[in-house]
Amino acid sequence: MADAETKTAVVTGASKGIGRAICVELAAHGYRVVINYRSDRPGAEETLNRVRAAGSDGRIMEFDVTDRARTVQAVKEILDQYETVDVLVNNAGITADGLFIMMSEEKWHSVIETTLTGFYNITKPVLEKMIRKRRGSVVSIASVAGLVGNRGQANYSAAKAGLIGASRSVAAEVARLGVRVNVVAPGLIDTDMIQAAPVATIKAMIPMARIGRPEEVARVVRFLCSEDASYITGQVIGVNGGMF
């Protein structure tokens, strides 16, 4: 177990993909990491193995960020164990694509709930503690789709654009209280999420002509969490190979 000086990071949706890469990157820079997942326990265990291999430690916590009561309880358990949260990464996200004209209510609400209500459910109780400590950094993972829109992703684009608006507003509210709030907006990144995407078509739209790696997103998140980013708040940083 890390000592009391070790900073604590909470990463939602960390059982795979970008969330896992963020956990490993933060662990390699000395953070202890709370690895949240919703359904993929073996994936979360693999993330913890990699966190340990990177020289740090942490714990796994199963909760669905759309479940407010459970999420608030989880934050309480984290604070009981570690006393504070220095870094919160809102990474949990889903897609449920389809043309808007045919989009079911279920598809609309599931994506909005995960990204936007999930942001509300976990960020609010964590922020209360950060404000009291006059210290903390929140980074949320949006998407290029939240900046430019994307055919078949009205729900996802709306959720990610909303995440950007919420983050910028909260950033302005807490800037004087020692807490920074930023957004990373990835382009196409090689994870399970894009397995059904028309990768060849999208690749043709990427100036760098390749898909990004989760580690390339994770490094920007780690920078934004660090003191190197001490004068950066309310910003949206694209990690997209020049796509936008």
**Distances in Å between the alpha carbon of 107 and those of 14, 103, 111, 113?**
22, 6, 6, 10
Residue 141 contacts ligand NDP per CB under 6 A:
yes
- Binding map of ligand NDP across residues 87-106, x = CB under 6 A, - = no contact: ----xxxx------------
Q: Quote the CA–CA distance of 49 and 172 in Å, as a whole number.
A: 37
The rounded distance, in Å, linking the Cα atoms of 8 and 89 is 11
Residue 107 binds ligand NDP (CB under 6 A): no
57 close to 30: Cβ distance less than 8 angstroms: no
* Alpha-helical runs (H) found in 99-232: 105-112, 118-133, 145-148, 154-174, 199-203, 214-225
Collapsing DSSP to helix, strand or coil, 186 comes out as strand
Among 193, 202, 206, 236, contact with ligand NDP (rule: CB under 6 A): 193
Name which position in 8, 56, 66, 233 contacts ligand NDP (CB under 6 A).
Answer: 66
Q: Using the rule CB under 6 A, is 37 a contact of ligand NDP?
A: yes
- Catalytic annotation, pick one of 31, 37, 82, 156: 156
Query: How many whole angstroms separate alpha carbon 185 and alpha carbon 178?
Result: 23
**Which stretch in 15-23, 24-32, 98-106, 201-209 sits in contact with ligand NDP by CB under 6 A?**
15-23
Question: Cα separation of 20 and 14, whole Å?
Answer: 5
Token code pair at residue 52: 């340990």
Q: With contacts defined by CB under 6 A, name the span among 96-104, 171-179, 189-197, 227-235 that binds ligand NDP.
A: 189-197
In angstroms, give the least distance from the CB of 95 to ligand NDP.
Answer: 7
Residue 156 annotated as catalytic = yes
Residue 13: CB minimum distance to ligand NDP, A? 3
Rg (CA), the chain: 17
Which span (3-11, 129-137, 169-177, 191-199) binds ligand NDP, by CB under 6 A? 191-199
Sites for ligand NDP among residues 150-179 (CB under 6 A): none
Interaction site with ligand NDP (CB under 6 A):
12-19, 36-40, 43, 64-66, 91-94, 114, 118, 141, 143, 186, 188-189, 191-194
Q: Cite the active site residues.
A: 156
